[in-house]
Amino acid sequence: MIIVYVPEDGEERRWDLKTARITAVEAEAVERATGLEWEQAKAKVLNGSMLATRAVAWVLLKRDQPTLRYVQFVPAANELGYDLDAEEMAAIREGIENNPDLDEDERAAALAQLDAASTATDEQPADGADADPETVPKDPAVAASPVAV
């Protein structure tokens, strides 16, 4: 999975989670920010959770901006997302090709949609030094405030 952050007034950032080497401290910060276990947070990103996507992007941004607080990272919803890497796309393709519940028209349509999505993806993992994320407040009301913490 590749986390994508495209700020309106900045440069696109991409992090491949297979090569980004998320540290235990970073995963813990995501857990504190979301209330989810690390594996659950990653799964939630794939299901479109903005909370999980924001938290993962935040710990990755902290590598370049160590003083960035969670409550200061308030991107627009359309600035955050994810892409699938080539291995993940291949697994999805195999699942579609081998799905006995799809007729040929459904299979062709699903594969065409997958191909269209994969051509729109340009994988360029960002790099950066590991940095310990700060403690994140557990109280959602505090975390939601742009001036708190």
**Total residue length of the chain:** 149
Q: Is 111 within the bounds of a domain?
A: yes
- Please tell me the predicted confidence (pLDDT) of residue 146: 35
DSSP percent split of the chain into helix, strand, coil, nearest 5 = 50, 10, 45
Q: Is 146 within the bounds of a domain?
A: no
pLDDT tens, N- to C-terminus, the chain (149 residues)? 889 999 998 899 999 988 899 999 999 999 999 999 999 999 999 888 999 999 999 999 999 999 999 999 999 999 999 888 778 778 888 888 888 888 889 888 888 887 776 665 544 444 433 334 444 433 333 333 333 33
134's tokens:
């700060």
Among 73, 79, 51, 44, smallest CA distance to 60 is for: 73
Dist CA 8 CA 122 (whole Å):
19
3-state secondary structure of 130: coil
- Are the C-beta atoms of 86 and 123 separated by less than 8 Å? yes
Residue 130 makes CB contacts below 8 A (sequence gap 6+) with 21, 23, 26, 63
Q: Is 37 within the bounds of a domain?
A: yes
Domain with 68 in it: 2-132
Q: Is 33 within the bounds of a domain?
A: yes
Q: Is 99 within the bounds of a domain?
A: yes
Q: Is 144 within the bounds of a domain?
A: no
Dist CA 13 CA 1 (whole Å):
14
Overall domain count for the chain: 1
48's tokens:
């479109």
Q: Is 64 within the bounds of a domain?
A: yes
Q: Is 149 within the bounds of a domain?
A: no
